[in-house]
Structure 1
Amino acid sequence: MTLSFAPSSDPSVPLHVIAQSDLDGWLLDQPERVQSWVAANGFSGALGQVLLVPATNGAIEFALAGYGTEDKRARKRFPLAAAALAFPEGTYSLASGIPADLLEMECLGWLMTGYAFDRYASQTGGSAALIAPDGINATRIEAMANAEALTRDLVNTPTSDMGPDQLQQAVEVLANEFGASCKVIIGQALLDQNFPMIHTVGRAAEQAPRLIELTWGTSGPRLTLVGKGVCFDTGGLNLKPGASMGLMKKDMGGAANVLGLARMIMTLDLPLQLRVLIPAVENAVSGNAFRPGDILTSRKGLTVEINNTDAEGRLVLADALTLADEGNPDLVISMATLTGAARVAVGPDLAPFYTDDESCAMALAQAAKTSADPVWRMPFHTPYESMIEPGIADLDNAPSGGFSGSITAALFLRRFVGSSRYVHFDIYAWQPSNEPGRTKGGLGQGTRAVLSALPEVLGL
């Protein structure tokens, strides 16, 4: 599925976007027939309301889209997308009504109404096409929309068709598309090349655990993205109850998100050196599954006491982050569906992130506002370090007590990154219900904010 603007040469219906408070003033400048048509059809400018206005010859002269009130718009990520979904099939061109500072965001939302996950059943997204208005970066918006579609497709695909083998194939397809390099370390080779925790977490599954690496670009600052690729998480021997296991196909949402971000970077040909690391495993149950009470030795040499096999994501990320740091990158970003504690703290809509770098934090916060991609900074609270130190080993993968679970997980990961600037996202990667521009299912989180922040953070 490709999400794109309609060719500018296509015949189109002019579209006026009207807020409720502006409708009366707008109508004063219209002929009586238009005023009567609007009144007769009950168009009030409510958010998502649409109306096609005929000319005197019966053809469509223009269209109206309700933009609601400021309060209503504040509750929607992409207010115009509500109208885009309601319009009949056709091509439209924005004529008035969208503030210049919101134009790119609203166009992105419109494009994303076209997304549908149709791999297993016939599904269709919005059928209204849009011509890119003057003054926007259409290439960038299309890159964002199609990266989001890739992320959603990967997360939405069940593990029967998106295990470690298939996730590797998805990375290889992406690498081939952009002329990137891809290499994979699989099974026993993980032990031979010192990735013991990735191997341990995935060794009980039918598909072998692996570390997937994509590299692209030969000059510029070095950016390394690390994505959690747990293709299904049963909880291991600390087996999840059924209700908690139902969405675990999305436990590779971190990998899906870094691949979406990588797609944007490569599509836009950003002047940097990109490295993507994905530890891909399935946390399964069998006779050789790792156990509570085991003590593992990581690639970095730190020992980890296993107090819950359901806290496996941080284990595979730890080995990958150690490798990332060994390359002395200018910036390391990890993305993972890591803790339920993050959802308790900020819910499903916000993407919490951790960093010790103030410039990164400020750039991300500002970029989120302009990219319709909300993020929220959480603290690397150093006094909590003692909570992840069990005494019998260097680290505890699941501290007891139940407090500050997202923070302690982030602190655990920070132990495996040395001097590199580091940002960690603890994301949900799932949209719980249908919203304009965001269908229920897999979701990209934080990636557009990162993309917009990269020029400042890396000096591009």
Structure 2
Amino acid sequence: MSLSLFSSDPESLPLHVIETAALSGWLSDQAEDVGTWVRANGFRGKLGEALLVPGAGGRPAMALAGFGSAETRARGRFALAAAAARLPEGSYRIVSGLPEAARSNEALGWLLAGYRFDHYAEGDRKRRQLVAPDGVNAARLQTIAAGECLARDLINTPASDMGPAELEAATRNLAARHGAHVSVVTGDHLLDHDLPLIHAVGRAAAGAPRLIDMSWGESGPALTLVGKGVCFDTGGLNLKPGSSMGLMKKDMGGAANVLGLAHMIMALGLPLRLRVLIPAVENSVSGSSMRPGDILTSRKGLTVEVNNTDAEGRLVLADALALAAEDAPDLLVSMATLTGAARVALGPDIAPFFTDDDTAAQMLADAGENVADPVWRLPFHMPYEAEIEPGIADLDNAPSGGFAGAITAALFLRRFAGSGRYVHWDIYGWQPKPAPARPKGGVGQGIRAMFDALPGLLGL
């Protein structure tokens, strides 16, 4: 991972952020040669435009970044990052034009724009650093960016180097950085610890399935994060076509996101008791694979008819949620790359969440708006409960019909989450094409909104 931090260079180049409509007014306050240069280079303040302006001796005297208009900015996020990508390597400090209300998100976008996944091949190594704008909490933003980039790195790493054992190692590394404790139940010992669904999904793979359990903090409200850690998903005996299998290294995106969120919480010392549960498996094909039609008994005692082995994520989450609920945390959160239905409904850019708590829902919606992390509430629609009840068993992991797949999956998980406050996220975890501050590849979704909302959700 390559990630720029805020600059402390006293020689940073002045950067003027200029809206299209404000350009003429800004030029009227400049020397004539500056106006001549800007006009000659066609700079108009459009979103994503960038320009160096020379001074005496031909050296850069300032830089300009186009900020477009309110309308063009509304069509995306991290407007300043779009211009940052077009600036040459160097250190910059904003001296005009960036509204106070936008400083925090735009500074974060600048940091995120510096991310490169360069473990396997060198990419653009240019470092475009920014002096933290006045009024922003630089340490907080750098920590949030680091958590986001941890999630990106984990998702981007191929399954050959990010199987269940490697996901455990990544969790242990994070725990060691923050003084957290990790325990792991592996392989057939899952049955000894009454985690049969995790075992059933992962037993066919060469890499043993496991339940990773990290804890941190000794006082304050209890928060438990559960992340789907399917390190690769072939679909099992209901084998995916090749076109659907190509991105399945990202099927542990829920685990990656909760680890990124956990880093934010621990690094900034939130006064709470944190637990992170990750069922880490590969859904593979062998003679020991679970089969369509199998009926499995969960940790909670509920039986599940397996009508599609490719609906495995809700199975491993079910056991982990049941385990989490036994401690009755003040807030239980699951994150998973769970259903294609969620993508069809909202596309790759918006993270849907489910909760029965209207107050929590409003807090998350507000937080998503505050931190440029778009989220949307979907309903636990009770009339669909019948869809997940097959009759031959308590629950069906893959209801027929194809309708409301994200909702029926969420209803399935809610059966295991206990009676406390619960939020479920059905994320995509992938940026399908490059955008400002978000290169193509793994991405965090919902975690900045979740982190921003935690003080209100937990009364911190």
Q: TM-score, normalised by structure 1?
A: 0.99
How far did 1:125 drift?
Answer: 5.3
Query: Are 1:21 and 2:21 counterparts?
Result: yes
Q: Distance in 1 between matches of 2:28 and 2:258?
A: 50
Is this contact kept in 1: 2:375–2:446, CA < 8 A?
A: yes
**Are positions 1:69 and 2:69 aligned together?**
yes
Paired position in structure 1 for 2:118: 118
Aligned pairs for 1:27-106 (under 5 A) are 27-106=27-106
The aligned residue for residue 12 of structure 2 is 12
Alpha-carbon displacement from aligned partner over 1:403-427 (angstroms, at most 9, x marks no partner): 1000000000000011220000000
* TM superposition shift of 1:306: 0.6
Which one is further off, 8-17 or 338-347? 8-17
Say whether the 8 Å CA contact 1:115–1:124 is kept in structure 2: no
Q: Are the aligned partners of 1:93 and 1:131 in contact in 2 as well (CA < 8 Å)? A: yes
* Alpha-carbon RMSD: 1.0
1:235 corresponds in structure 2 to 235
- Corresponding residue for 1:196? 196
- Measure how far apart 1:2 and its partner are: 5.7
- What is aligned with 2:438? 438
Moved more, 74-83 or 404-413: 74-83
Contact 2:197–2:316, Cα closer than 8 Å, also in 1: yes
Alpha-carbon separation, structure 1, partners of 2:34 and 2:286 = 70
Is contact 1:5-1:131 (8 Å) kept?
Answer: no
Q: How is 1:413-452 mapped onto 2 (pairs within 5 angstroms)?
A: 413-452=413-452
Contact conserved, 2:78 with 2:105, CA < 8 A, in 1?
yes
The answer on whether the counterparts of 2:80 and 2:110 sit within 8 Å (CA) in structure 1 is yes
- Structure 1 residues 392 and 157: alpha-carbon distance in aligned structure 2, compared to 1, 3 A threshold: same
Determine if contact 2:4/2:114 at 8 Å carries over to the other structure.
Answer: no
Are 1:302 and 2:302 matched, yes or no?
A: yes
Cα deviation for residue 98 of structure 1 reads 1.1
> What letter matches 1:102 in structure 2?
A
Counterpart of 1:130 in structure 2 is 130
Contact 1:85 1:127 in 2 (8 A): no
Give the CA deviation at 1:149. Answer: 1.1
* Distance of 1:307 and 1:267 partners within structure 2: 42
Letter in 2 for 1:422: Y
Identity of aligned residues (%): 66
For residues 169 and 216 of structure 2, the distance between their equivalents in structure 1, rounded to whole angstroms, comes to: 17
Contact 1:226–1:255, Cα closer than 8 Å, also in 2? yes
Deviation, structure 1 residue 51 = 1.3
Contact 2:277 2:320 in 1 (8 A): yes
Q: How does 1:316-327 map to 2 (within 5 A)?
A: 316-327=316-327
* Contact 1:10 1:91 (8 Å CA) reproduced: no
Unaligned stretches of 5+ residues in structure 2: none
CA contact (8 A) 1:113 1:126 kept: no
Partner in structure 2 of residue 315 of structure 1 = 315
The aligned amino acid for 1:418 is G
Contact 2:198 2:279 in 1 (8 A): yes
Task: Indicate if the aligned counterparts of 2:430 and 2:440 stay in contact, CA closer than 8 A.
Answer: yes
Give per-residue Cα distances to partners, 1:188-231, cap 9 Å, x unaligned.
11000100000000000001100001100001000000000000
SS of aligned partner of 1:86: coil
Amino acid at match of 1:280: A
C-alpha separation between the residues in 1 aligned to 2:3 and 2:244? Answer: 33
Q: What is the letter of the counterpart of residue 268 of structure 2?
A: L
Question: Any idea what the Cα deviations from partners look like across 1:122-142, whole Å, max 9, x if unmatched?
Answer: 123552111111110111110
- Work out the CA distance in 2 between the residues paired with 1:125 and 1:216: 35
Instruction: Please give the alpha-carbon distance, in whole angstroms, between the structure 2 residues aligned to 1:139 and 1:299.
Output: 41
CA contact (8 A) 1:17 1:67 kept: yes
Corresponding residue of 1:141: 141
**Contact 1:184–1:211, Cα closer than 8 Å, also in 2:** yes
Contact 1:3 1:142 (C-alpha < 8 Å) held by counterparts: no
Q: Contact conserved, 2:2 with 2:117, CA < 8 A, in 1?
A: no
8 Å CA contact 1:16–1:64 kept in 2: the answer is yes
Question: Contact conserved, 1:373 with 1:448, CA < 8 A, in 2?
Answer: yes
Q: What is the aligned partner in structure 2 of residue 260 from structure 1?
A: 260
Q: Which amino acid aligns with 1:45?
A: G
Q: Is the 8 A contact 1:213 1:278 kept in 2?
A: yes
Alignment of 1:271-420 (within 5 A): 271-420=271-420
Q: CA deviation at 1:70?
A: 2.1
Indicate the larger mover: 41-50 or 195-204: 41-50
Describe the superposition over 1:150-194 as per-residue Cα deviations: whole angstroms up to 9, x where unpaired: 111100111010000100000000000111000100011100010
Q: Hey, what's the Cα distance between the residues in 2 that align with 1:189 and 1:245?
A: 29
SS of the residue aligned with 2:207?
coil
Structure 1: how far apart are the matches of 2:178 and 2:196? 31
Choose 42-51 or 326-335, whichever is displaced more. Answer: 42-51
Deviations along 1:36-57, one digit per CA (max 9) or x if unpaired, are 1111111111111111112234
Q: Is the 8 A contact 1:350 1:376 kept in 2?
A: yes
* Offset at residue 397 of structure 1 (A): 0.3
AA in 2 matched with 1:164: P
* Correspondence for 1:178: 178
Using the alignment, how far apart are the partners of 1:432 and 1:9 within structure 2? 35
| Paired AA for residue 299 in structure 1 | R
Indicate the larger mover: 6-15 or 110-119: 6-15
The answer to whether the aligner puts 1:251 opposite 2:251 as a matched pair is: yes
Question: Does the residue aligned with 2:58 lie in a helix, a strand or coil?
Answer: coil
Q: Using the TM superposition, give the Cα deviation of residue 4 of structure 1 relative to its aligned residue in structure 2, in angstroms.
A: 4.4
Number of aligned positions between the proteins: 460
Distance (whole Å) between structure 1 residues aligned to residue 2 and residue 180 of structure 2: 21
Distance change (3 Å), C-alpha of 1:6 and 1:373: closer
Alpha carbons 1:115, 1:125 under 8 Å: kept: no
| Aligned residue type for 1:459 | G
| 2:294 partner amino acid | D
Question: What code does the residue aligned with 2:317 have?
Answer: L
Task: Give CA-to-partner distance per residue, 1:214-273, whole Å, 9 cap, x none.
Answer: 100001000000000000110000001110111000000000000000000011110000
Contact 1:84–1:126 (Cα < 8 Å) also in 2:
no
The residue type equivalent to 1:275 in the other structure is R
Alpha-carbon distance in structure 1 between the residues aligned to 2:52 and 2:349: 33
The answer to whether the Cα contact below 8 Å between 2:328 and 2:418 also exists between their aligned partners in 1 is no
Q: How many angstroms apart in 2 are the aligned matches of 1:385 and 1:25?
A: 60
Tell me which amino acid in the other structure corresponds to 2:338: L
Q: Is the 8 A contact 2:2 2:118 kept in 1?
A: no
CA distance in 1, matches of 2:239, 2:126: 40
> In structure 2, what residue type is equivalent to 1:334?
S
Contact 1:114 1:124 in 2 (8 A): no
